[in-house]
Structure 1
Amino acid sequence: MRRILVSAVALALAAACTTAVAAAADGAAPMSHETTTQLPRNVRPVHYDVSITPQASSLSLAGQVTVTLDVLEATPSITLNAMDMAFPSARLTPDGGKGKALTPKVSVDAQAQTATFAFDKPLQPGRYRLALDYTGKIGTQANGLFAIDYDTQDGRKRALFTQFENSDARRMIPSWDEPSHKATFTLEATVPTGQMAVSNMPATSTQDLGNGTTRVRFAPSPKMSTYLLFLSVGDFERATTQAEGVEVGVVTQRGKIDQARFALDSSADVLREYNDYFGTAYPLPKLDNVASPGGSQFFSAMENWGAIFTFEHTLLLDPSISTQSDKQRVFSVAAHEIAHQWFGDLVTMSWWDDLWLNEGFATWMASRTTQKLHPEWNTQLGAVGSREAAMSRDAVATTHPVVQHVETVEQASQAFDAITYQKGSAVIRMLEGYVGAEAWRDGVRSYMKAHAYGNTVSDDLWRQIQAASGKPMLDIAHDFTLQPGIPMIRVASSACSGGKTTLTLTQGEFTKDRPDKQSLRWRVPVIAQSAGGEPVRTIVEGGSGTLEVPGCGPVVVNAGQSGYYRTLYAPAQFAQLRTGFAKIDAIDQLGVMNDVWALGLAGLQSPSDYLDLVKATPRDADPQIWGDIAGSLHALDEYYDGDAARQARFRRFAIAQLSPMLARVGWDEKAGESDPVKILRTDLIDTLGALGDRNVIEEARRRYASDAMPAGLRKTILAVVARHADAATWDKLRAAAQAEKTPLVKDELYSLLSSVQDAALAEKSLELAMTDEPGATNSAGMIRSVARLHPDLAFDFAMAHREQLDGKVDSTSRSRYYPGLAGGSLDPAMIGKVDAYAKAYVAESSRRAAETAIANIAYRINVRKERLPAVDAWLSKHGG
C-alpha cells in the first residue's frame, strides 16, 4: 500500500521542534512561530553551491552540494529533505575554513523524505558548510528532475526538465525544501556537448571537458525558495527580445522556435505592463519560457524564477492545428506565470496554507492583463466562468477556506484546486471593486516593497490594501478567505416609486448538497443596477439590507458580476429579468444565466427557468453567451445518458437552439470576423456533434475524408469524427498518431483516440494507454479522456491496473487523479468504489479529493432524479 505523504514520524518531529529561532548571522528575520514546518527549526540554509551530472540514458544523477548554513541553537544533528538519494560522503566544516572538519553519520527516512546527519557532540550556534556527495534518480513523470522522450524528423530524442513545486526539489538536491527556507543558489551542470542547459540565471561560463561533456555554470540566483529552482538540458534553440533592460527568451526543441514567437512577444508586453503595475522592476537579468513536449495531470506551466516551464500544448502555436482558443490560452498562461515572478517568487507565501496568495493573485492578474492588452478578445466575461468553477467546488460539504491548513506533502498537492485559483481570483476581483482599482494597486505596490525576497501570510497583503485605500476591508477579506462557502443574496421583494426601485435583500448560503445547512454570515459587497441606470453599492451585513436603485426596469443584483455570491430572485423579479433580458449587459446576462442554472439544479428554483432564458437570448447576443449556452445544454444532455427516449427529446430542443447560431456564423471563417466568433464556431460544432446532430457529424466526416480542414477547425473536426468513430476510423486515427513526428500534434491525436463514444473502442483506447506507444506522459491523460464519456469503465480499468498506472501519473496527482475519473458517473455503486479506493490507498488526512468526487456523484444522481422531470415537463409544454 503506497501513500504519497509525509509520515507521522515527520509530523511528530515538526511538533517537537517548536523552539523559537534566534536572528540569523546575516540579519535576516527569523521564521515566525506560526510558520508550519516539517523540519527542525534549529538550522537554516543561506546558500547552496550545487553541481549536477545527470545521466539521461540511465535515468540517474550524481551531485555535489555545499550548503552554507546557520546553526541557530545547539543541535546534535542536521535534518533536511532528500528523496530517492544515497550519500557516499558527507562533511561539515565551520565557515571560513577554521576548525576541524566533521564526518557525520547519515540516516535516511524514505517515508518522511528526509536525511539526517548526526554528530558525536552537539554543534554550537554559528555558520557552517555542509558538503555532500550524493546520487539520485531521474523520473519519467513531472516530479523532480525528469526525462521527456519525443519524436522528431531526425528520430527519437530525450530532454531533461525539472518540476519542484510543491515538494520535489528534494528529488534533485538535498535541501530545506520548504517555502520559508529561502536561500541563494549557484548551480553548475555537466551536460552532453552540443546540448543547451537552461536555469534561472544566465550562464557565466562553459567548459568543454573533452569527454563529450561540457560543464555549464550559472550566475548566483537571488534569494528564493527551493521549489523555484530550475534546470533543463536538451537539443534546444532559443530566441530572445529585450524589454526594459531584461532579456526575454523562449526555448524550444530544435526546429520549433517560430511556433513560440507569439509567446515571446507576449511575454515582453506583459513584463512591461507588470513593471509598471507592481512598481517594482523585474529583478533578474533574463526571463525565459522553456517549452517541453508531453504533459502532466497536475499542471501545464510553472513559474520558476527567470525560467518558466511550459508544456508545448500551452506555449507553442502549431500552424497546422492551433486555434484561436489556443492562442488566447498561450497569452493567459504566460501572463499568469509572469505575474508569479512577483507574487510568489519575489514575495512568497510562508507555507502552503496561503498558496492562494500565489495562485489566486496570478489568476486574477492574468485575467486583468489579458483584457487590457487584448481588448479585441473581450475576455472580461471569462471572469464569470472562472467564478463558476470556484462555486461548483465551493458548494459541496468537502470545500475548504481559501486560506487552509496544510500539514502533509499530499495535502499541499491537493491545495492546487479551484478554491485556491478561481475563488482566490474572484475574491480579489470583488475586493478591488470595493476599494477601487487605484487604491488596490497602491496597496499591492506597498506590499511588494515591504516584503521583497521574504515570506508572507494573507494579512500582510490585507494590511497594505487597507492602509492604501482607507476603507475597512479587513473584515470582508476575512469573511471570504477564512471561512468556506458561498453567500446567497435573496431579492425578496422590490417596489418602484418615483423612478426608483427599492430592493429588500436577505443573505443566506448556497450549497448543492446541504439544503438544511445553517447559513454562515458574510459582509457582502453588493452592486445593483437597473437596465440603463447607474450602479448602486451597499454592504449586506447582519443577514439583510435594503437598496434603492435608480430606474424601474429589470434590476440586476451583482451588476458587473464582481461579487462572489449567488443571487436568487423572487418570481416577480425573475419574470422582469426574463422579459427584459436582451436589455441588460452581456456580462450580466452571463451572470444571471449561471446563477439560474446552479440554483435550478440545486432545487432553489425551477431548472426550466434556465431554458426560459435560453429562449429569451437574442441571436445577436455576445458570442460568449451562446458559447456558454452550448456548454450548459451539453452538460444537461449528459444527465439523460442511458435514457434514449428522453435524451432524444431534449436533444431536439438543444439542436433547435444551436443550429441557427451555427448557420449564422458558418463553418468557414469570414474576413474581418471577431475572435470571439471564431471561438463560438468551434464551440457550436463541438457541442452539436456531441448532441448527435447528423448534419454536423456528416459535414465533419466529409471535411475529414477530403482533408478540407483549416488549421482553426482541424482539432474540432477531428474531435467530432473521433467521438463518432467506427473501428475503421479509429484505426485510421491511430495510424496517423503513430506516423506523426510533431509531439504537439501526436499528443492531440492520442487524446482524440480516447474520446470515442463506442464502448468497445473506448476499451481499446484504455488498453492502448497502458502500452509504451503513446508516450510516458500521455497515458494517464488518455484514460482521463475516456472517463469523460465512460467514467465507470475508465475508473474500473484504472483500479484493475492501478499498480502499473501509478508509474504513469505524476505523484503529486495520484490521490485526486483516480477519484477524478469517476466524477461524471451516474451510478450509485460508484460512491462505494471511490470510498474503497480512498480507504485503501490514501491517507485519512488527505482524502478530500475522493470525498469531493463522492459528493459530486451524489449530487449528479440527485439532479437526474429530482430535476429532470421539471425539464421534461417544460419540453412537453414548449413542443420539445
Structure 2
Amino acid sequence: MRCILASAIALALSTGSFAAAAQSAAAQPVSASMDAVTTQLPRNVRPSHYTIEVTPHAEAMTFDGKARIDIEVLEATNAVVLQAIDMTFANSIVINAKGKPMLAKVSVDAQAQTATFAFDKPLAPGNYVLSTDYTGKIGTQANGFFALDYPTANGKQRALYTQFENSDARRFIPSWDEPNFKATFDLTVNAPTGQMVVGNMPAKDVKDLGNGLTRTTFATSPKMSTYLLFLGVGDFDRATLNTDDGVEVGVIAQKGKAEQARFALEASRDVLREYNEYFGVKYPLPKLDNIAAPGRSQFFSAMENWGAIFTFEYALLLDPATSSIGDKQSVFTTAAHEIAHQWFGDLVTMRWWDDLWLNEGFATWMEGRTTRKLHPEWDTSGVDAAFTSRGAMGGDAYATTHPVVQHVATVEQASQAFDGITYGKGSAVISMLEDYVGEDAWRSGVRSYISKHAYGNAVTDELWQEMEKAAPGKQFVQVAHDFTLQPGVPLIKASQVCVDGKTQLALEQGEFTVDRPNKTPLRWRVPVTVRAGDGSEVRVLVDGKASVSVPGCNAPVLINAGQKGYFRTQYSPAQFKTLSAGFSKLPVVDQMGVMMDASALAAVGLQPESDTLDLAMQVPMSAAPELWQMVAGSMGGIDDMLKGNDKRQAAFRKFALAKLAPKFEQLGWNTRAGESSSTKQLRTSLIGMLGGLGDAKVLAEARRRFAAAATDPQALPPDLRRTVLGLVARNADAATWDKLHAMAKTEKSAMLRDQYYGLLARSKDKALAQRALDMALTDEPGATNSAGMISGVSWEHPDLAFDFAVAHREQVDKLVDSTSRARYYPGLGGAARDLKMVDKIKAFADNYIAATSRRDAEQVMAGIQTRVKLRAQRMPQIDAWLKQHGI
C-alpha cells in the first residue's frame, strides 16, 4: 500500500521542518520469535477456500452475497467464529464430508466485529463447508466495498471498488480476515450488463442472465490473505500489453481515460520484467491490472491487491495538458511500489501486522532501487540515498517512536502501523543493510526467502535467517536486530587528531533525540563508511566505540560516505570547520547529508544554527539543483518556525529572498530545451518558495498567468500549473476564490475537479477558509474530497479546522474512512504553534479515541510541545546570525 501520510512526513522531515512532528507512538521492542502469531479469532477452525457470489445494488448502496467456505475443524467445537461487519445472515448451514447439513444459528458482535455460527451439536474435527446467504452495505469512503461518484460529459457516473487492507474484507465477506489465514478464492459477480467487472484473476465464464445482469465468474485465485481480494465494477476501458513471460499487463480507467494511463502501463511492464529477474521467482498470475479510480482517501493512494492493483487517478493517470515531470515520477514510483508488493506482501505475507514493515519497508526500498535503475535520468546526482536515510529520522527521534517490528494488538493499531517508521525507516534500514553485506549477498538472501515462503506467511527473523546464510561472518542478525527491534536514531560523534601524517579518527555512538536531551542512549552496532581526503574509504562496525586511521591530515574526513547509514553524524567543531571549507568538493549526496545532519543537530541545540546558515550561504549558483532544493527547503523550514513574529520573519525573509531570487532569475519561468528533470522541479520549488516568502514579482506573475490561462493554455504549462494555482489559491481574495469555485463546479475531469476543490481550502484568508469548511459538509465537493478540504484548511488555520471538525464530528466521521479517524482529528492540529492545541487534542482523545489507539494523538501533541520549546531556543541564534550579516 502506498501511504500518503508516510510520504508527506518523510518529505517534511527531510527538508529540516519539524512541523510534522513525530509519526509514531512509543512501544516496547517485540520479540523476534517465529512461534507466536497474534489472532483475534479462535484457533480451532481454519478456512482453505472461499466460493463467493455477490450482487451489488449500487443505487441502494447495498449488496447481496452467498458464501461457501471450505473449513477444517481442528478440535471439536459447537461454534465457528469469523469476522464480519454490517452484515445480516440467512440460510446458514454447515455440511460435513458426507453431505449432511446442520443448521447454524448466527449471532453478531458488532464491537468485536465477529459473527458466530452456533450448532446444536459439536462439530468433530474434520472438513466441512460453511454456507450462508448474507447482505452487506456499500460505503462512501475507501474501505470495504464502496462507491465513488464522478462527473463526466454525460453526467454523474458511479463505480464500485473494494479496499480491504488492513481489516476490511470482513465488510465484504464473512471471513477469517487476518493475514495468517490464507485461502484460495472463487469470485462470481452479478453486475449490470455492459459494465466491466474486474477481479484478481481473469474471468473464466461470462453469462448474460437476461434480467439486465451479467454473471462473471473469475478463475480461482492463488492462496492469499483476505485483504488482497479485489472487485471493481463500472463503465471502464482497459488497455493491455503482454510481457516476455506471457503475463497480460493492463490498465483500467473510466471510459475515455485509459490512454492517460499509457505511461503507467508501460512502466508496469518494465517493472514486472525487472522484478522477475531480481526476485528469482516469476510473477505467478496470468494478468496484472492497475485500476484507476476517481477520488481520494485520507489513508492511502494505492493498494497492492494481487493481480488487480487499485490506484487513485491522481497517482496513475497523466494528462499531457496538466501533468508535470513530478507527476510522471510519482506514477512510476507508485507502480514500482505496488508491484514490489506482488512478492513482498502478496506471495509472501507477514504473519501478523507486527511485521507490516516486511511489506511496506521493502516495497518502499524496491521502488527507490528500481526507479534509480530504470530512470537514472531522474537522479543524476545520486541524492536519493540521503533522502532515504534521513526521511524517518525526525519522527524516530521523538519519545513517541516505536521499533520497526512493533507489537499490534487491535485493528486500529494495525491501521496506525502504516506510518513513517514502517515505510521510511524500514526502507532506510534495508538500504543500510544491503550496503553492509553487499548487493549480491542481499539479493541472494531475498531470493531464498521468497522461494522458501512462497504462498505462505513469515516473520522478520525468517528473512534474517536467509540473510545470515548469504552473508556469514558479518554479525548480520545482531546488526539487523539493533535497528528493527529497538526504536531511535544512533548518533555517531566524531573527533580526530593527526599522528605521523595520518588522521586518527575516534567514533563514539550516542543517540540523536529531539525531545529527551538527557536520555541514556540505546546501543546499536552501526555500520559506518569513512572517506578520507584522498578518496579512499574504510568501513567499520561501531559497537559503542571504534577508531579508524586514514591517510593525510589536512583534508576533510567524511563520516557516512554515500549516506547509506541510518544515523546522524556530529563532528567536532574543528572537523566541521574543515569539512565546510572543502564542502564544494564533496559529492552532492554527501553535501546534502552534511546539511541535513547539521540542520537537525542545530534544531536541538547540538550544533550552532550558524553552521547550517553558513553552508547555505556558500552554495554557488552552479551547484546541483538538488542542493538548491535543500537550501530552499531549509529556509522554508526556518520561515515556518518564525510565523507569528512579524519582525523576525521579515528580517529572515530579506536574507532568504536575497539568496534564492538570483537562482530563480537564472532559471526563469520557462522550461528550456535539454533541461534535466531536477532543474524543472527546482524551478517550481523556487516559485513556490519565493511566493511563500512574499516575493511581490513572483506573486504578480502567478496572478497574471492565472488570469491569462482562461484564453491562453500556454500561460500555465504542465510543470508550472499546480504551483501557480497553489500560490493564487493561498493568496486569493474573494473574487479569485469565487473564480476557482466556478472552475471546480464546471470541471468534467474528476481528477482536475478534485484538485480545484482542494485549492479552495488553501486560502490564508480566514473568512475564505471558513467558506471552504462549510462547503466540505455539503454534497458538492464529493464524498471523498470533503475530509481533504478540512485538512487543507488546517495547514494554515489549525485551530479553525480542528474546532470545526470536532463541532461537527458526527458529520465529519462519515467523510473519513474508518481506518483513519484516530489519525485524522489529531492531525488537524498538527501545524499549531500554541500549547492550547495540546489540551484540545488530549480532550478529544480522552473522549473519542480508545486508549490503545492514541499513537497519532500522542505524536501530534509531542510535536507541538517540542516545536514551541525548540523555537524559543533557536530564534536568538538566528537573530544573532542575521545581525552579524547585516540583515
Interval containing the TM-score (normalised by the shorter chain): over 0.9
Alignment correspondent of 1:106: 106
Q: Give me the whole-angstrom Cα distance separating, in 2, the residues matched to 1:155 and 1:820.
A: 35
Distance in 2 between the 1:806 and 1:630 partners?
37
Instruction: Give the superposition deviation at 1:110.
Output: 0.4
Q: Give CA-to-partner distance per residue, 1:168-203, whole Å, 9 cap, x none.
A: 000000000000000000001011111000010001
301-310 or 794-803, larger mean C-alpha shift:
794-803
Q: After superposition, where does 1:131-530 map in structure 2 within 5 Å?
A: 131-243=131-243, 244-378=245-379, 380-470=382-472, 471-491=474-494, 493-497=495-499, 500-530=502-532
Task: Give the aligned residue type for 2:488.
Answer: G
Asked whether 1:825 is paired with 2:832, we answer yes
1:633-712 aligned at under 5 Å gives the runs 633-707=635-709, 708-712=715-719
2:386–2:590 Cα contact (<8 Å) kept:
no
| Residues 568-579 of structure 1: pairs in structure 2 closer than 5 A | 568-579=570-581
Contact 1:578 1:616 in 2 (8 A): no
Q: State the 1:472 CA deviation.
A: 2.3
606 and 368 in structure 1: CA distance in 2 versus 1, 3 angstrom threshold: same
Letter in 1 for 2:48: V
C-alpha separation between the residues in 2 aligned to 1:322 and 1:784? 23
Which of 66, 84, 87 is matched with 2:86 structurally? 84
Amino acid at match of 1:474: V
Deviation at 1:386, TM superposition (A): 3.7
Q: Which residue matches 1:15? A: none
Q: Which of the pair has the greater relative contact order for Cα pairs under 8 Å at 6+ separation?
A: 2
- Offset of residue 498 of structure 1: 5.2
Partners of 1:441 and 1:455 lie apart in 2 by: 20
Which of 620, 623, 627 is the matching residue for 2:622?
620
- What amino acid is aligned across from residue 653 of structure 1 in structure 2? F
2:220 maps to a residue whose letter is P
Among 767, 774, 777, the residue aligned to 1:760: 767
Shift of 1:513: 0.3
Deviation by residue 1:658-689 (Cα, 9 ceiling, x = unmatched): 11111122110000111111111111111111
Q: Which position in structure 2 is the counterpart of 1:28? A: none
CA distance in 1, matches of 2:149, 2:357: 33
Following superposition, the deviation at residue 320 of structure 1 comes to 2.2
Measure, in 1, the Cα distance between the counterparts of 2:551 and 2:418: 42
Structure 1 residue 797: Cα displacement = 1.3
Using the aligned pairs only, state the percent identity. 61
Amino acid at match of 2:215: R
Correspondent of 1:772 among 779, 783, 790: 779
1:716 correspondence with 2:723 = yes
Deviation of 1:382 after TM superposition, in Å, equals 2.9
Change in CA separation of 1:532 and 1:311 when aligned onto 2, cut-off 3 Å: farther
**Distance in 2 between residues matched to 1:336 and 1:500, nearest whole Å:** 45
Q: Distance in 2 between matches of 1:158 and 1:545?
A: 63
Contact 1:531 1:584 in 2 (8 A): no
Mapping for residues 562-641 of structure 1, pairs under 5 Å = 562-641=564-643
Tell me which amino acid in the other structure corresponds to 2:751: L
Aligned to 1:9: none
Displaced runs of 4+ in structure 1, greater than 6 A? Answer: none
Contact 1:533 1:550 in 2 (8 A): no
| Deviation by residue 1:245-280 (Cα, 9 ceiling, x = unmatched) | 100000000011111000000000000000000000
Shift of 1:725: 0.7
Pick one of 530, 533, 536 that aligns with 2:535. Answer: 533
Aligned twin of 1:121: 121
Q: Answer whether contact 2:385 2:589 (CA < 8 A) is retained.
A: no
Secondary structure at 2:510's aligned position in 1?
A: strand
Contact 1:579 1:616 in 2 (8 A): no
Query: Against the structure 1 CA distance between its residues 550 and 330, is the aligned structure 2 distance closer, same or farther, given a 3 Å change threshold?
Result: farther
Distance 1:577 1:90 in 2: 74
Q: Which runs of 5 or more residues in structure 2 are unaligned?
A: 1-32, 710-714
Quote how far apart the aligned CAs of 1:384 are: 2.4
The answer to whether the aligner puts 1:838 opposite 2:841 as a matched pair is: no
Provide the residue aligned with 1:790 in structure 2.
Answer: 797
1:34-57 Cα deviation digits (max 9, x unpaired)? 000000000000000000101110
Change (3 A) 1:383 1:786: farther
Post-superposition Cα deviations, 1:54-88, rounded to whole Å, max 9, x if no partner, equal 11101001000100010011111100000000002
Q: Which residue identity lines up with residue 321 of structure 1 in the other structure?
A: T
2:813 aligns to what?
A: 806
The aligned residue for residue 6 of structure 1 is none
Q: What is the one-letter code of the residue matched to 1:131?
A: S
Cα separation, partners in 2 of 1:592 and 1:42, compared to 1, 3 Å: same
- Alpha-carbon offset, residue 426 of structure 1: 0.3
Which deviations, in whole Å up to 9, do the C-alpha atoms of 1:432-456 show, x marking residues without a partner?
0000000000000000110000100
User: C-alpha displacement at 1:629, in angstroms?
Assistant: 1.9
Deviating more after overlay: 354-363 vs 654-663? 654-663
With normalisation by structure 2, the TM-score equals: 0.94
Contact kept, 8 Å, 2:34 with 2:459, in 1: the verdict is no
CA deviation map 1:718-737 (0-9, x unaligned)? 11111111111011011011
Quote how far apart the aligned CAs of 1:869 are. 1.1
- Determine the C-alpha separation between the residues in 2 that align with 1:55 and 1:32: 44
Cα distance per residue 1:278-311 (max 9 Å; x no partner): 0000000000000000000000000000000000
Retained in 1: the 8 A contact 2:144–2:162?
yes
How many angstroms does 1:752 deviate by? Answer: 1.1
Q: Classify the secondary structure of the residue corresponding to 2:392.
A: helix
SS at match of 1:757: coil
Give the counterpart letter for 1:645 in structure 2.
Answer: K
Moved more, 700-709 or 134-143: 700-709
Give the Cα–Cα distance (whole angstroms) in 2 for the partners of residues 33 and 43 of structure 1: 18
Aligned partner (choices 740, 748, 771) of residue 747 of structure 2: 740
CA offset at residue 230 of structure 1?
0.2
Worse overlay, 864-873 or 126-135: 864-873
Would the aligned equivalents of 2:34 and 2:462 in 1 still touch at CA under 8 Å? no
Deviation at 1:499, TM superposition (A): 5.1
User: Structure 1: which 5+ residue stretches go unaligned?
Assistant: 1-30
The residue that corresponds to 2:734 in the other structure is 727
Q: Are 2:295 and 2:750, in contact at CA under 8 Å, matched by a contact in 1?
A: yes
Task: Name the CA distance, whole Å, in 1 between partners of 2:886 and 2:291.
Answer: 55
Match of 2:469, as an amino acid?
A
Q: Counterpart in 2 of 1:72?
A: 74
Q: Aligned-pair distance for 1:156?
A: 0.4
- Write the letter of the residue equivalent to 1:517: K
Counterpart Cα distance in 2 of 1:490 and 1:600: 15
Secondary structure at the counterpart of residue 811 of structure 1: coil
SS in 2 for 1:80: strand
- 2: CA distance between counterparts of 1:711 and 1:506? 49
The alpha carbon displacement at 1:756 in A equals 1.0
Tell me the equivalent position of 1:54: 56
Task: Note the C-alpha offset of 1:634.
Answer: 1.1
Mapped to 1, the partners of 2:509 and 2:235 lie a distance apart of 59
State the aligned residue count: 846
The amino acid of 2:700's aligned partner reads E
Task: Give the C-alpha shift of residue 618 in structure 1.
Answer: 2.1
